[in-house]
């Protein structure tokens, strides 16, 4: 049997039927692999009370799976055709209300003619087949290179459930799904409901799952394979954790399950609603496209949350935060779901915000808002500064436009804004508003106004102006405090707010301002706090007259504001020398970030900033700030490499010093986390001859760092460094390593290392493969290659191949999946800092914009902007 996965107008019909022109009824809906909002809306007005009876057979050794679905629903208007989403499959037989019919199948959706439908109850049965997916969507199949075992899992968000079976694949047509699966007898099958396997004589087993509650299709799931399973119980809720067998020994099982138990208890209490879905499974799966996915009661996680050595604090904290993020979705997102994809931001931002609260309340990471500042908020400011930024709440016309909104605005800016909202309405009011919202809309779908309405009611405030300013306007404000002092006394304090000219909107901010004085031990301490609502360009603080003039002012104490902080001159001067005398780590981070932003904007030579950061590290004991310093050093040096070191000898002087310094800090580190952090600094910058000799020595065991075992994963990090720097015997080293590490991680690391070799011809070949894959199939392998291709020390090579990268964009826009497209255009178009590279990108925009899809356009415009900024910085250095 041939499975058709390419587009084309194919008729699905009874076996033996001949198609003729008259049978083909053209659908008004566009023939694309996407669902547009008008089609979804129209369907939503007609269809209700949907139930799916779904049987799927995965037990054969074929490249495809087969199934049959019966869709029962009410139709209030049978005068028009009805479309059913099903991408890339084969349809064998369609029966509508017991009658076999000729339905049109174009490779993307089926069209059932109006003549076959009736008002009221309808039942449509479809027999189908579909290939297993290789790109991490639909029903993905993975064969473990270590032991040959096969694993399946689904990834259906946002619009991939229709790669599993034919359905109405939109969030607001919630339905119950009764699933039956036939699978090999030694597999475990996992889905939303529960089932006990019934063995058959042919060695297979039948799994009849309990019907699901009413749910949206994108959070349905079907995972199957010989997964290793750990079982436990969370106050009566059965919980399970699963992973590939060959990965099982590295999974931090106890910690994972403990986080799960605590999280479930926390959320049940916070929302005042018991966990709604009976059981809670979590699967760690290979080739996963994103971090994790909140399938109801059967969450999937990428394997990047498992390390083949002891995980450091950052890795453990990220894992904890993701476990808690997905769990929050069970209530917010799964029990109550957005009506359409414009609601994505609220769903994601809320889960992110909740994971912070749950981390603080239930885990060792009680200072996790500090991480939020360093990673989440800074990502949001960066995204919000791009030409392609957008309001948090915005229309989404089609599922094809998904990657224009799946970004740091929807996750990080949105969650920063919700943090600000909770501070604005009061945290207790906020929690009550969330709880009443979830209770009123359980098992239903909502729009933004429903959420805001519950917040207004709970807090007794009007949020119209707040919503308008925060949710419907892009960009961010700059806040600063102006203090007037006279004879050592403070006369007045004014908060100044400004906005960039391209987004000239001022907002209301609920902020805390801290005035700092030096104490007798030379520490800078917050002596006075003002909590206030800032509105408009100037907000004065009353009743401060007579107080001594403060040494320093922090306009964003506790980081409640989503705004850039501009330091007053006096504060900036004090910080140059006194930053380390501030006892609160969060405040040190706020100021360190402000200094780094200044350097990246050209306020200070980059080399000088790196020197400053190294000096700062000598006195810094907080691991988060050490990490912040480390990553800021690596980022700054990468930028210096892109800025053409041949015209600037400061890098040549700086690099060997940073290499030696970071390696010394690694050796003298007091804790494992610190050791890992300074080693990451070394690995991030090393590229001098002496540095590479040290890398080789670590790899072949002639040198060692006490307390830092060179695990298989670290070995690949070292090999990647040697590859991108073109070490002499690198090909032999790679061959030897890949022979001894046959894991999936090893295979993908080998791809990245090969792609990173500084060789124009081999890079050109990889690019051709990406454009037209013959050997390089599977998105996760393609991504590994993309990640290796253009390291920051190879911008000259990158420029040589820029034409080839750009030329492929129109074709890829037409043929590739959004996940591929977003990786391709974001990873391969990093700044080259040349007038010529910007010109080539501009030419592509001028001449071919109409051939680029929204994802390619977004990343191309961002790349051009980054290139221009980089050039501007170069001229200022
Ligand atoms: Zn999420």
For residue 295, report the distance from its CA to the centre of ligand 1, in Å: 10
What number of H helices and E strands is found in the chain? 28, 30
For residue 102, report the distance from its CA to the centre of ligand 1, in Å: 40
Measure the CA–CA gap between 242 and 248, rounded to whole angstroms: 8
Q: Determine the average pLDDT of the residues in 464-476.
A: 98
- pLDDT, residue 1, reads 25
For residue 681, report the distance from its CA to the centre of ligand 1, in Å: 30
- pLDDT, residue 597, reads 85
Measure the CA–CA gap between 231 and 221, rounded to whole angstroms: 19
- pLDDT, residue 19, reads 38
For residue 344, report the distance from its CA to the centre of ligand 1, in Å: 9
For residue 332, report the distance from its CA to the centre of ligand 1, in Å: 10
For residue 865, report the distance from its CA to the centre of ligand 1, in Å: 29
For residue 448, report the distance from its CA to the centre of ligand 1, in Å: 17
For residue 59, report the distance from its CA to the centre of ligand 1, in Å: 32
For residue 615, report the distance from its CA to the centre of ligand 1, in Å: 39
For residue 261, report the distance from its CA to the centre of ligand 1, in Å: 19
For residue 351, report the distance from its CA to the centre of ligand 1, in Å: 6
Q: Determine the average pLDDT of the residues in 83-101.
A: 97
For residue 355, report the distance from its CA to the centre of ligand 1, in Å: 10
For residue 328, report the distance from its CA to the centre of ligand 1, in Å: 8
* CA-CA-CA-CA torsion sign (739, 744, 745, 747): positive
For residue 470, report the distance from its CA to the centre of ligand 1, in Å: 21
For residue 550, report the distance from its CA to the centre of ligand 1, in Å: 43
For residue 800, report the distance from its CA to the centre of ligand 1, in Å: 39
Task: Tell me if 190 sits within 8 A of 202, measured CB to CB.
Answer: no
Instruction: Output the six-digit token pair for 719.
Output: 């090999």
Long-range contacts of residues 827-830, Cβ cutoff 8 Å, at least 24 apart: 827/783, 827/786, 827/787, 827/789, 827/790, 828/786, 828/789, 828/790, 829/805, 829/859, 829/860, 829/863, 830/642, 830/790, 830/792, 830/798, 830/863, 830/866
pLDDT, tens digit (0-9, with 9 covering 90-100), for 820-871:
999 999 999 999 998 899 999 999 999 999 999 999 999 999 999 999 999 9
Write the CB contacts of 300 (distance below 8 Å, at least 6 apart in sequence). Answer: 153, 155, 221, 223, 282, 283, 284, 285, 288, 292, 293
For residue 744, report the distance from its CA to the centre of ligand 1, in Å: 26
For residue 347, report the distance from its CA to the centre of ligand 1, in Å: 7
Measure the CA–CA gap between 358 and 350, rounded to whole angstroms: 12
- pLDDT, residue 650, reads 87
For residue 413, report the distance from its CA to the centre of ligand 1, in Å: 14
**Mean pLDDT rounded to a whole number for the chain:** 93
For residue 257, report the distance from its CA to the centre of ligand 1, in Å: 19
- pLDDT, residue 645, reads 61
pLDDT, tens digit (0-9, with 9 covering 90-100), for 763-821:
999 999 999 988 899 999 999 999 999 999 999 999 999 999 999 999 999 999 889 99
Residue 231, beta-bridge partner list: 240
Q: Looking at per-residue confidence, does 3 or 496 come out higher?
A: 496
Q: Please report the DSSP string for 819-830 in residue order.
A: HHHHHHHHHS--
Task: Tell me if 242 sits within 8 A of 190, measured CB to CB.
Answer: yes
Helix axes 730-740, 744-756, angle to 10 degrees: 170
For residue 329, report the distance from its CA to the centre of ligand 1, in Å: 7
Measure the CA–CA gap between 211 and 214, rounded to whole angstroms: 9
Measure the CA–CA gap between 124 and 96, rounded to whole angstroms: 4
For residue 343, report the distance from its CA to the centre of ligand 1, in Å: 12
For residue 458, report the distance from its CA to the centre of ligand 1, in Å: 25
Q: Model confidence at 593, in pLDDT bands (50, 70, 90)?
A: confident
Write the CB contacts of 581 (distance below 8 Å, at least 6 apart in sequence). Answer: 518, 522, 523, 524
- pLDDT for residue 378 is more than 70: yes
Lowest mean pLDDT across 22-26, 397-401, 509-513, 762-766: 22-26
Share of the chain above pLDDT 90, in %: 86
Q: Please report the DSSP string for 743-810 in residue order.
A: SHHHHHHHHHHHHHSS-HHHHHHHHHHHHS-SS--SHHHHHHHHHHH--GGGHHHHHHTHHHHHHTHH
Strand pairing report for 237-243 and 280-285? parallel
For residue 394, report the distance from its CA to the centre of ligand 1, in Å: 18
For residue 352, report the distance from its CA to the centre of ligand 1, in Å: 7
For residue 299, report the distance from its CA to the centre of ligand 1, in Å: 11
For residue 233, report the distance from its CA to the centre of ligand 1, in Å: 24
Strand pairing report for 337-338 and 445-446? parallel
Helix axes 414-425, 344-362, angle to 10 degrees: 70
Find the helix or strand (DSSP H, E) in which 513 lies: strand 509-518
Residue 285, beta-bridge partner list: 302
For residue 630, report the distance from its CA to the centre of ligand 1, in Å: 28
For residue 282, report the distance from its CA to the centre of ligand 1, in Å: 14
- pLDDT, residue 10, reads 36
Q: Determine the average pLDDT of the residues in 117-131.
A: 98
Q: How big is the chain, counted in residues?
A: 877
282: closest CA among 312, 252, 308? 252
For residue 29, report the distance from its CA to the centre of ligand 1, in Å: 30
Strand pairing report for 99-100 and 89-96? antiparallel
For residue 325, report the distance from its CA to the centre of ligand 1, in Å: 6
For residue 331, report the distance from its CA to the centre of ligand 1, in Å: 12
Instruction: Output the six-digit token pair for 375.
Output: 């990673």
For residue 218, report the distance from its CA to the centre of ligand 1, in Å: 12
For residue 420, report the distance from its CA to the centre of ligand 1, in Å: 19
pLDDT, tens digit (0-9, with 9 covering 90-100), for 287-335:
999 999 999 999 999 999 999 988 999 999 999 999 999 999 999 999 9
For residue 220, report the distance from its CA to the centre of ligand 1, in Å: 15
For residue 836, report the distance from its CA to the centre of ligand 1, in Å: 40
* CA-CA-CA-CA torsion sign (311, 314, 319, 323): positive
Measure the CA–CA gap between 497 and 539, rounded to whole angstroms: 8
Largest CA distance in the chain: 98
For residue 855, report the distance from its CA to the centre of ligand 1, in Å: 20
pTM for this one?
0.94
Q: Determine the average pLDDT of the residues in 340-364.
A: 97
Residue 292, beta-bridge partner list: 301
Measure the CA–CA gap between 610 and 596, rounded to whole angstroms: 9
For residue 326, report the distance from its CA to the centre of ligand 1, in Å: 6
For residue 660, report the distance from its CA to the centre of ligand 1, in Å: 41
Q: If 0-12 CB within 10 Å is exposed, 13-18 middle and 19+ buried, where does residue 775 land?
A: exposed
Share of the chain above pLDDT 70, in %: 96
Strand residue runs (E) in 107-203: 109-112, 120-131, 138-143, 150-155, 175-184, 188-191, 197-199
- DSSP 3-state of 639: helix
For residue 309, report the distance from its CA to the centre of ligand 1, in Å: 27
Task: Tell me if 818 sits within 8 A of 157, measured CB to CB.
Answer: no
For residue 477, report the distance from its CA to the centre of ligand 1, in Å: 27
For residue 348, report the distance from its CA to the centre of ligand 1, in Å: 5
- pLDDT, residue 646, reads 61
Q: Model confidence at 15, in pLDDT bands (50, 70, 90)?
A: very low
Q: Please report the DSSP string for 288-348 in residue order.
A: -SSSEE--TTEEEEEGGG--SS---HHHHHHHHHHHHHHHHHHHBTTTBEESSGGGHHHHH
Q: What are phi and psi of 257, to 5 degrees?
A: -70, -35
154: closest CA among 138, 170, 135, 132? 138
For residue 512, report the distance from its CA to the centre of ligand 1, in Å: 29
For residue 603, report the distance from its CA to the centre of ligand 1, in Å: 37
Helix axes 779-789, 712-724, angle to 10 degrees: 50
- pLDDT, residue 647, reads 62
For residue 418, report the distance from its CA to the centre of ligand 1, in Å: 15
Rounded to 10 degrees, the C-alpha dihedral 33/39/45/51 comes to -10
Q: For the chain, first and last CA: distance in Å?
A: 64
- pLDDT for residue 33 is more than 60: yes
For residue 324, report the distance from its CA to the centre of ligand 1, in Å: 10
Q: Determine the average pLDDT of the residues in 266-290.
A: 98
For residue 638, report the distance from its CA to the centre of ligand 1, in Å: 31
- DSSP 3-state of 151: strand
Long-range contacts of residues 423-427, Cβ cutoff 8 Å, at least 24 apart: 423/510, 423/560, 424/466, 424/508, 424/510, 424/533, 425/455, 425/458, 425/459, 425/461, 425/463, 426/459
Q: Give the DSSP letter of residue 377.
A: I
Q: Determine the average pLDDT of the residues in 215-219.
A: 98
For residue 291, report the distance from its CA to the centre of ligand 1, in Å: 9
Instruction: Output the six-digit token pair for 54.
Output: 């779904």
- pLDDT, residue 852, reads 96
Residue 190, beta-bridge partner list: 223
For residue 294, report the distance from its CA to the centre of ligand 1, in Å: 7
Instruction: Output the six-digit token pair for 78.
Output: 């049978």
Write the CB contacts of 550 (distance below 8 Å, at least 6 apart in sequence). Answer: 483, 490, 515, 516, 517, 527, 528
Q: What are phi and psi of 140, to 5 degrees?
A: -90, 140
- pLDDT, residue 289, reads 94
pLDDT, tens digit (0-9, with 9 covering 90-100), for 643-677:
876 666 889 999 999 999 999 999 999 999 999 99
């Amino acid at each position: 049997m041939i499975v058709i996965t390419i587009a084309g107008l194919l008729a699905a019909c009874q076996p033996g039927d001949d198609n003729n022109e008259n049978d083909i009824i053209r659908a008004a809906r566009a023939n694309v692999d996407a669902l547009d909002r008008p089609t979804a809306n129209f369907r939503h007005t007609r269809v209700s009370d949907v139930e799916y009876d779904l049987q799927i057979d995965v037990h054969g050794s074929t490249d495809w799976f087969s199934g049959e679905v019966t869709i029962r629903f009410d139709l209030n208007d049978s005068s028009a055709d009805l479309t059913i989403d099903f991408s890339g499959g084969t349809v064998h037989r369609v029966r509508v209300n017991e009658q076999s019919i000729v339905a049109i199948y174009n490779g993307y959706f089926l069209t059932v003619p109006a003549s076959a439908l009736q008002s009221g109850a309808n039942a449509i049965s479809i027999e189908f087949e579909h290939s297993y997916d290789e790109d991490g969507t639909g029903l993905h199949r993975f064969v473990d290179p270590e032991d040959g075992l096969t694993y399946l899992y689904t990834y259906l968000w946002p619009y991939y459930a229709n790669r599993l079976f034919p359905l109405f694949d939109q969030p607001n047509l919630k339905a119950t799904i009764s699933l039956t699966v036939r699978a090999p007898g030694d597999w475990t099958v996992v889905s939303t409901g529960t089932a006990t396997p019934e063995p058959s004589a042919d060695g297979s087993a039948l799994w009849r799952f309990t019907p699901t509650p009413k749910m949206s299709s994108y959070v349905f799931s079907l995972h199957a394979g010989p997964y290793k399973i750990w079982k436990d119980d969370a106050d009566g809720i059965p919980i399970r954790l699963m992973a590939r067998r060959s990965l099982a020994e590295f999974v931090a099982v106890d910690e994972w399950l403990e986080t799960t138990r605590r999280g479930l208890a926390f959320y049940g209490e916070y929302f005042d609603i018991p966990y709604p879905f009976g059981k809670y499974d979590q699967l760690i799966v290979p080739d996963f496209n994103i971090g994790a996915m909140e399938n109801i009661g059967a969450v999937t996680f990428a394997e990047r949350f498992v390390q083949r050595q002891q995980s450091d604090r950052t890795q453990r904290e990220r894992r904890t935060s993701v476990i808690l993020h997905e769990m929050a979705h069970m209530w917010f997102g799964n029990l109550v779901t957005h009506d359409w994809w414009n609601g994505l931001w609220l769903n994601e931002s809320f889960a992110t915000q909740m994971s912070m609260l749950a981390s603080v309340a239930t885990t060792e990471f009680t200072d996790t808002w500090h991480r939020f500042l360093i990673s989440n908020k800074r990502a949001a400011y960066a995204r919000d500064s791009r030409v392609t930024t957008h309001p948090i709440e915005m229309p989404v016309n089609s599922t094809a436009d998904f990657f224009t909104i799946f970004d740091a605005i929807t996750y990080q800016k949105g969650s920063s804004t919700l943090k600000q909202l909770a501070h604005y309405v009061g945290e207790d009011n906020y929690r009550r508003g969330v709880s009443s919202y979830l209770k009123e809309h359980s098992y239903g779908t909502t729009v933004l106004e429903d959420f805001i309405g519950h917040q207004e009611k709970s807090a007794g405030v009007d949020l119209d102006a707040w919503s308008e300013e925060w949710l419907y306007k892009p960009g961010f404000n700059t806040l600063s405090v102006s203090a007037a002092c006279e004879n050592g006394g403070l006369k007045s304090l004014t908060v100044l707010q400004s906005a960039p000219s391209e987004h000239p909107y001022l907002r209301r901010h609920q902020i805390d301002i801290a005035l700092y004085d030096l104490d007798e031990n030379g520490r800078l301490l917050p002596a006075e706090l003002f909590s206030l609502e800032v509105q408009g360009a100037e907000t004065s603080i009353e009743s401060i007259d007579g107080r001594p003039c403060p040494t320093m002012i922090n306009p964003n104490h506790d980081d409640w504001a989503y705004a850039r902080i501009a330091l007053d001159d006096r504060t900036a001067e004090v910080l140059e020398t006194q930053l380390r005398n501030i006892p609160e780590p969060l405040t040190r981070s706020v100021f360190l970030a402000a200094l780094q932003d200044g350097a990246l904007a050209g306020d200070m030579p980059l080399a000088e900033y790196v020197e400053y950061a190294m000096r700062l590290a000598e006195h810094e004991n907080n691991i988060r700030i050490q990490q912040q310093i480390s990553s800021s050093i690596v980022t700054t040096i990468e930028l210096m490499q892109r800025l053409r070191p041949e015209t600037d000898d400061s890098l040549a002087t700086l690099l060997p010093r940073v290499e030696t310094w970071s390696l010394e800090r690694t050796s003298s580190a007091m804790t494992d986390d610190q050791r890992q952090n300074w080693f990451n600094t070394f690995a991030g910058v090393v590229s001098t001859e002496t540095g590479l000799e040290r890398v080789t020595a670590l790899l072949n065991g002639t040198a060692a760092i006490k307390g830092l075992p060179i695990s298989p994963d670290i070995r690949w990090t070292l090999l990647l460094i040697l590859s991108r720097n073109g070490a002499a015997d690198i090909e032999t080293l790679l061959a030897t390593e890949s022979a001894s590490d046959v894991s999936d991680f090893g295979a993908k690391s080998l791809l990245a290392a090969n792609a990173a070799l500084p060789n124009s011809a081999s890079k050109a070949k990889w690019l051709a493969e990406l454009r037209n894959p013959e050997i390089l199939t599977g998105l996760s392998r393609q991504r590994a290659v993309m990640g290796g291709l253009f390291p920051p020390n190879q911008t000259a090579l990158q420029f040589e191949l820029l034409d080839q990268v750009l030329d492929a964009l129109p074709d890829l826009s037409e043929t590739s999946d959004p996940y591929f497209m977003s990786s391709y255009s974001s990873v391969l178009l990093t700044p080259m800092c040349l007038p010529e590279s910007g010109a080539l990108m501009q030419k592509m925009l001028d001449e071919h914009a109409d051939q680029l899809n929204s994802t390619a356009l977004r990343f191309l415009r961002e790349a051009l902007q980054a290139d221009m900024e980089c050039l501007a910085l170069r001229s200022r250095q």
